[in-house]
Structure 1
Amino acid sequence: MTIEWVFLDVGGILFSDASYFTSLYEAIAAAEPSVERAAYDARFDALRAAQSEPFTEALVTAFVADASLHARVRADADERWELRGYSEAELYPEVPAVVRALAARYAVACITNHFSWVRDRARDAGFADLIRVWAISDELGVSKPDPAIFSAALREAGAAPDRVVMVGDRLDRDVAPAKALGMRTVWVLRNEAPDEPTPEQLVVPDATVRSLDELPEIVDRF
């Protein structure tokens, strides 16, 4: 089938999530001052390798013993992150040109477990006008990997799953649920993806890349 749409995750695909995970560490350390960054980073790398748990919940649970504080820690992280997240420094350098190249041949959408302000960051980066559909968890009340957020994007796009390529950095939250709905999938090996995926992980997506520079050619081949 001819590909008509490219659905992009935002964190890890368009912008680095580094400032979010720094914000989360700061929020955890404010609640549990004994937590060292090295331990936090080691747990984060283990989560990247496994690709099977929600990172935020797993990190907060691992380091904040009092469960009654978990919601407050997550909210604190979100507040810290909104002040610094997805700045120009976190925009992957190839993104504007690649999004323009994709938009010249396909319709482009974004599916993200984020807040509405992500649109503003895309506008600041100069490519928001190229995104035809936004499926944002904070607005829809549902998050990846729930199939409902993918279905919402498909409905708004008026697209059949077999005419869509989903591009993300999470095997469990982007690639697997999109593939289950019948989309083609591309796994981007950066940000929350492991540095060295296992052979078992590599057979899940239809293609893998380490930079979006490779993406237009791969989508054209689908």
Structure 2
Amino acid sequence: MIRAVVFDVGETLVDETEIWGSWADWLGVPRHTFSAVVGAMAVRGKGHWEAFRVFKPDFDVEVEDGRRALAGRGTRFGPEDLYPDVRPCVEALREMGVWVGIAGNQPVRAERDLLDCGLPVQMIATSAGWGVKKPEPAFFERIVAECPYQAHEIVYVGDRVVNDVVPARAAGLATALIRRGVWGFVPDAFDPERLADVRLRGLDELPRWVAERRRA
């Protein structure tokens, strides 16, 4: 039985289109060019920060993020950046009595951004706040420690097989893979080994799947 759902952040809850675009603007690169390079890195199995180093070889995210913040152009998101299916999904899960949390690879300031989105969740956590990031096993161990249920009663929802599905499954969690965002359409997201317990086209499909698991 599924008693808890924990969501990733970027491209699971938050549409990062404008976030990526603002980084392209900061680097002085056309947005479509920057997006193409990010996609190329994703297909090659490289981290997205490698795309930044194509245009700025000495790129350091902490340094650049600080510079952007000082210039009043820091990376932030708000309720308007949530995908349209997010709030209805979370509200439906809560009405079912499901414990809902959010935990993703994000800077500490994203915790405030998520709080400001006003979602009815019981946990908001970031990798920076915890001092451990995906796909490290300790990240998912922390999820289990923070959640009032056992690992097999928790489903982790994310858009990346390598970062989300594989390590969550290894930690004993159920997994849901959502196909959207850059990593939602690269080859590993097709999940050829069918590792995810469910593959979603949108979060509107999740409450029904959880309800079925709760009846099983």
Normalised by the length of structure 2, the TM-score is: 0.83
Q: In the superposition, relative to structure 1, how do residues 218 and 76 fare at CA in structure 2: closer, same or farther (>3 Å)?
A: farther
Whole-Å separation in 2 of the counterparts to 1:131 and 1:170:
22
Q: In the superposition, relative to structure 1, how do residues 22 and 44 fare at CA in structure 2: closer, same or farther (>3 Å)?
A: same
Q: Which residue of 1 aligns with 2:24?
A: 25
Deviations 1:45-64 (A, max 9, x none): 223445x3321x21122222
More helix by share: 1
Amino acid in structure 2 at the alignment position of 1:169: D
Whole-Å separation in 2 of the counterparts to 1:175 and 1:77:
32
TM superposition shift of 1:80: 7.4
Number of residue pairs the alignment of both structures matches: 210
Q: Give the fraction of aligned pairs with identical amino acids, expressed as a percent.
A: 26
Structure 1 residue 100 and structure 2 residue 94: aligned? no
Of 22, 33, 39, 1:39 maps to 33
CA RMSD of aligned residues (A): 2.6
Secondary structure of the corresponding residue to residue 168 of structure 2:
helix
Q: Which residue of 1 aligns with 2:161?
A: 171
Q: Which residue of 2 aligns with 1:201?
A: 191
Extract unaligned runs of 5+ from structure 1. Answer: 30-34
CA contact 1:98–1:213 (8 Å) conserved in 2: yes
Which stretch has the larger CA shift, 70-79 or 99-108? 70-79
Amino acid in structure 2 at the alignment position of 1:166: Y
Of 182, 186, 199, 2:176 maps to 186
Structure 1 residue 131 and structure 2 residue 124: aligned? no
Q: Which residue of 1 aligns with 2:47?
A: 54
Extract unaligned runs of 5+ from structure 2. Answer: none
Whole-Å separation in 2 of the counterparts to 1:162 and 1:81:
43
TM superposition shift of 1:91: 1.3
CA contact 2:178–2:201 (8 Å) conserved in 1: yes
Q: Which residue of 2 aligns with 1:112?
A: 104
TM superposition shift of 1:163: 1.0
CA contact 1:19–1:84 (8 Å) conserved in 2: no
Whole-Å separation in 1 of the counterparts to 2:126 and 2:72:
17
Whole-Å separation in 2 of the counterparts to 1:80 and 1:149:
32
TM superposition shift of 1:214: 0.6
CA contact 2:160–2:189 (8 Å) conserved in 1: no
Which stretch has the larger CA shift, 19-28 or 184-193? 19-28
Q: In the superposition, relative to structure 1, how do residues 199 and 95 fare at CA in structure 2: closer, same or farther (>3 Å)?
A: closer
Whole-Å separation in 1 of the counterparts to 2:19 and 2:165:
22
